[in-house]
Each structure stands twice: as structure tokens, then as C-alpha cells.
Chain A
Amino acid sequence: MNSSHTQKHPLDGILRTDRIPHIWCPGCGIGTVFSSALIAIQSTGADLTKTAVVSGIGCSGRGAGYVKLDSYHTTHGRALPFATGMKLANPELTVVVFSGDGDLFAIGGNHFIHAARRNMDLTVICVNNLNYGMTGGQAAATTPHMAKTTTTPFGNPEPPFNLPLLAYASGATYIARWTMLHTRDLTQSIEEALARRGFSFIEVLAPCPTGYGRRNKLKPIDFLKIYQEKAIVKNGAHPAEVILDFNQGITIGKFIEYDRPTFSESYERICRPQAS
């Protein structure tokens, strides 16, 4: 009997191993981001029974289904409001939202800006693969201008969102961007986000070779080379100045971290009758 089959993986305790293999394609970057998130959750040493993961719909949205924590795979775009209700009903919970760019910023865009504005105490990890992977590679709110997808066969006529800038303008109090190649920085960033109060947003670039890559002549390794060669670490960069361009450069780093009252802190102070 091959002993490798009985060896325990360091993340087995936090994985639903009975649900493996996962659905993610060969060359997909979500698994790496997912691992970073699990390592970060484990390394906080926090009570795992008090940690919940909420996802929306899409490839990244399947993350909730593989984590052996209280996990909720909700409707398309609605992970943030669901997580908001969960956090408010039980403030002891650490609530992590793990989802994709289409889910969080197109169909769920309105929820994102309002959760950030409220400074809801949530850690939001957005895997940005530049397109809708689950449905076969359609244009997203993050698809670069002129990129080809199944719904932009002539090139994308629209410009993409700058997610860190959107998060900043909306009021997020922690904003970072990494690629799935920068796993140590990413893991550390997620750890920081979990340890702090307030709305933390981490964007992670990840390849979608089956969808985006195939139509833009990028193999999995090409994405990784771009992440390595074009990434420019600029901690503290103003979100208005960060760029995401496979030719000109990809600004990564921790851009924003500051404190202001969370929704719950303000609610307790302003709305709750005070004991006299």
C-alpha cells in the first residue's frame, strides 16, 4: 500500500477531504489562493468553530464547499449581504467571504460598495481571473479593454474596474492586491485581515487558462511569467495610481490600512440604549 495515500496533508483538518477532487481546471489559480486562505485561517490560532466562510456563485464561489468550517454557498452576488447578516447576528464569528470578481463586482457590486461603506467587519478575498470562468469565459467587469472573451469576440469595448480604487472610494479600511504567485505575501495579508476589525479587501490575480487564457493566447505558465515579470510591489501606493496591465505592469502590495468604527461599533454607540 502506498504510504503517501495515508499521509495527512497539513490542511486536511480544515478541508472537506471527502469532496476532493475539486472542480477547478488544470492551471487554474483559485486552488493556490484557497490554500493561502486556509493556511492563514489555521495560523491565526483562532477557534475554528467560530469561523465561517461565505461564497457567492462562480468558480471561486465553490471555495465554501471545500472548507471544513461552517460554510455557506449562497446566491450570485449576495455573499456580502448574507455575511453581513451572519456577522450581525453573531458578532463572535469571524466571517470570511471568498468569491470571484464577477460575483463581487458585477452582480454583487452594489453590495460590495455598501459593505465597504459600512466598514462591516468582514474579510473579503476576491479571486480575480478577469472573466466568468464557470459559464465558459464571458466578459466581466474586470476584463481588460480589447481582451477577447466569448461575449467580446471583437475585443472588449469596455474598460475594467480598478478594484482597489473602488474599494478605497467605498470606504474599505484594508486594501491589498497580490497575485497567486505571491503566496507568502498573500497569506500574510489574509492573516492581517483576519486579525483586524473592519472591512478588509484582498484582490488576488489568478489565471483562468480555460476561459480567459485560451482566447487571449495565454497558457498557464504565461500568466505566471507575467505575474513574475510585471508585478511591481508598491506598499502604500494610492489606489488611484495602481495599475493592472499585462504589458505596462501590475501594482501589488498592501495599499491601505486605517482604522475607523465598524458598523457594529457605531451601532452599539449610537443606537443601543446606554446603561446609565
Chain B
Amino acid sequence: MKPAVLTGEHFLTGDSACAEGALAAGCRFFAGYPITPATEIAEHMSKRLPEVGGVFIQMEDEMAAMAAVLGASCAGAKGMTATSGPGFSLMMENLGLGIAMETPCVVVNVQRAGPSTGLPTLGAQGDMMQARWGSHGHYEIIALAPASPQEIFFQTITAFNLSETYRLPVLIMADEVVGHLSERVLIPDPSKIRLESRPRPKGRKDRFRPFHPGANGVAPMANAGEGYMVHFTGLTHDERGYPVMTAEAHTEMVSRITGKIRANLDKIIQVEEYRLEDADVALISYGISSRSSYSAVDEARARGIKAGLLRLITVWPFPEEKIRELAGRVKCLITVELNLGQIHLEVQRCAAGMAPALLVGHAGGTVITPARILEEICGASRQ
């Protein structure tokens, strides 16, 4: 029997590294449904969870998988599911329930090219806006974008920590290339892994209000079976969890579930800057596309063009401040992503005309080459 944290050096696919990251984060429940290119995460969890005291279940569809993860989380477990585009669409319904019930969990989307069945075996980054707005109603979400198997390992831990801290589903927006890529993955000693768990209630059980926020805007969470007799609903509810069908109650609830994210942006958002200090041309990229972007920056620098890269580790909430700051000091912004302009729209919005915002992207099916990015950098630097 292997331990939950496989400390040591491994050669893993992104999908397997994601599963190991989940186990290291304390994930003990996985409900899933097979779908290319995310199936390997479920397969890995089906083998590993029983030996660490967890439970794996293959559900009848992705709606059920997402519902089961929420149920498990409400009973106190750290739960996860993993899917790709078509399944991600089906999960939007209960993703909203997780938002409304403020239930921690992690949802992995190993993106393939859509719309619809699309290109099941080929990568894309076309679900980025769906990640932001795919479930109905107004809400905030946290989404991370891993660029390598090593990073997906750590991001899965981060995703669990964020979901527990802020009580919401956290998305890992991977892509087929990262999911299927095999690379070296270093798994640290468990003592070196920082784990967070949901805020817990204190005081009298009969006076507990399950949605009364604490100091950071997040309400402590009582799990089923602990004697708090909580009520959770997807209906608009007050701090007791009771349905209240008024505009005032709705404003209050939506303000709370969006406010707890907006108030903690500095603690949530992570970006990486590469050669940006004196850059004239700033690339903005994430996931697999950021890997091509590093090479393009180095190539451009070798040709005397001052290029740099802002790599988004957190895509949602969007690092608005950072983009504004960049737009104020560079000559051009270029978003590099495997779609026809999604995060590009956010960059344009934040740049607000301070610097031109260009796009290097296509509909998916193959990675963006450094050469294509370099071409755009050279073109932009001649303007």
C-alpha cells in the first residue's frame, strides 16, 4: 500500500499528477464520469483512493458526479471531479449549487477543442469564459491554469486550499496537452505541504447561523452529522439558510458570495512575471500556451526586442490591476491563448486603450508555436 503523499521524484502525466496533488491535498472522495482527455484522472483515483481510506465512485453522468461531490463535501469530505468540455457543460448546473450553498470542492477541466463533441483528443483553451460565466446568475469563481504536470500537482493542492478557505468550487482549467504530457514531477514531504480546511463553527449549536460571514467574509461551515441541524438550499436564502424570496435578500446573498472573493483578491490572485521589467511588448498567456510564450520572449530578446511575459496562474478572478499597470508602461499587449479571443477580451477591457491589445490564438487542435508568437511580437515592435 502506498501512502497518500508519494514523496519523491516521478515521471507523470499531467492527469496523474493532478490526481496525486488531490490526494496530497487530502481529497478523499472522487465522483466522475469517463471523458477524453480527463479519464486518466478518474482511473488514477479509482486505484489510489481505496488505499488511502477514500472512496471513488463512477457516476451515471457528469450532473450526478458534480452533485455527489457536493454531497460528500457537505458531509465533511474534500471532494473532486474531473472532466472535459461536454461534461463541464453538464456540471454547470450543480456548479451553481456549489456557489449558492458555498460548498468547497475542486472541478478539473482538461480542455479539448469544442464546441460540442469537437476534437476529443486534441487540446484547446476554449472554455475559459464558460469557466467564468457558465452557470446561470451572477457569481464569482476561482479558476487556475496549470502549464505543466509539476504545476498541476501544486495547483490541485492550491485549489483545495482556496476552495476550503473561501467555501466555493474551485476550477482547474488544464488542457489536453498538459493533461497528457509526461514530465518530471517532484512531490515534497507531507510536512512541506500547507493544507487549509474550511472555517469551522464555534459556540452554541442551536444559535449557529450557517451563512453568517466571519471576519474575512466567509461563513464557518458545519457538516452533516455534527448536530448543527443546518439547512442548505439553492434558493436565495438568509444567514440561517432559510429561503427568502425578495430582491433585498437576493442582493444581500449575492453581495456576500461575490464579496468574499472581491475582498480577498490579493490573497487569491497569482501571476508570474518573466522578463517584464523593461518590456516594450508584453505577452499575456496561461496553461500550455504560456510554454510557447517563454520561448518566443527569449527569441525576441535575442533579436533585440524587449519582450516579456505575464503568465496567469490564476485566471479568475482576473488580475485586473496587474493588466492595468502593464498597459500603462508597455507599447503593446499580446494575449496568447488556444481560442479565438476570450481572456483577450478581458485584457482589452483592462488595457482600456492605454496600449493596443493584440491576440495570437486559433480555435484549438494544436499548440501555438513560438514562431507564430514571435512573428506577432516582431510585427508589433515595428509599429
Contact = CB atoms under 8 A, between A and B. Distances in A.
Interface of A: 16, 18-19, 49-50, 52, 54, 64-65, 68-75, 77-78, 80-90, 92-93, 110-111, 114, 263, 267, 271-273
A88 B64 CA distance: 14
B94 A71 contact: no
Contact of B63 (A52, A69, A78, A86): A78
Interface stretch (B108-116, B227-235, B260-268): B227-235
A68 B55 CA distance: 29
A89 B28 CA distance: 8
Contact of A65 (B70, B228, B242): B242
Given A70-B224, A273-B51, A85 B230 contact: no
A81 B225 contact: no
A70 B79 contact: no
A114 B58 CA distance: 11
A101 B223 CA distance: 28
A87 to B, nearest CB: 8
The 3 A-B residue pairs whose C-beta atoms are closest, nearest first, are A85-B71, A85-B68, A81-B64
Contact of B71 (A50, A64, A86): A86
Name the residue among B31, B61, B64 with the largest chain A CB count within 10 angstroms.
B64
Contacts of B74: 72, 82, 85-86
Name the residue among A50, A71, A85 with the largest chain B CB count within 10 angstroms.
A85
A16 B224 contact: no
Given A85-B29, A89-B77, A267-B55, A75 B94 contact: yes
A12 to B, nearest CB: 13
Interface in B53-99: 55-57, 59-61, 63-65, 67-77, 79, 93-94, 96-97
Name the residue among B76, B79, B231 with the largest chain A CB count within 10 angstroms.
B231
A88 B75 CA distance: 9
A89 B231 contact: no
Contacts, number: 148
B163 to A, nearest CB: 15
Contacts of B225: 49-50, 52, 70, 90, 92-93
A84 B71 contact: yes
Given A78-B63, A84-B57, 14 more contacts: A16-B242, A65-B233, A72-B101, A73-B234, A74-B70, A74-B94, A75-B97, A81-B59, A88-B57, A88-B72, A114-B60, A271-B56, A272-B50, A273-B50
Given A82-B68, A85-B69, A86-B74, A64 B224 contact: no
Contacts of B229: 49, 68-71
B275 to A, nearest CB: 46
B63 A85 contact: no
A75 B72 contact: no
B264 to A, nearest CB: 27
Contacts of B235: 73
12 contacts: A73-B232, A73-B234, A73-B243, A75-B97, A78-B63, A78-B67, A81-B64, A81-B65, A85-B74, A88-B29, A111-B64, A267-B50
A41 B93 CA distance: 31
Nearest to B51: A273
Given A50-B225, A52-B225, A90-B225, A85 B231 contact: no
Contact of A86 (B50, B57, B94, B224): B224
B302 interface: no
A85 B72 contact: yes
A81 B63 contact: yes
Contacts of B93: 75, 78
Contact of A110 (B60, B72, B228): B60
B215 interface: no
Nearest to B242: A19
Nearest to A110: B60
A64 B50 contact: no
B1 interface: yes
Nearest to B71: A85
Nearest to A75: B97
Given A49-B229, A89-B29, A75 B71 contact: no
B226 interface: yes
Interface in B184-236: 223-235
Name the residue among B73, B74, B224, B234 with the largest chain A CB count within 10 angstroms.
B224
Contacts of B59: 81, 84, 114
B55 A81 contact: no
Contacts of A16: 231, 242
Given A49-B226, A70-B230, A75-B67, A86 B75 contact: yes
A267 B228 CA distance: 30
A125 B282 CA distance: 60
A71 B234 CA distance: 12
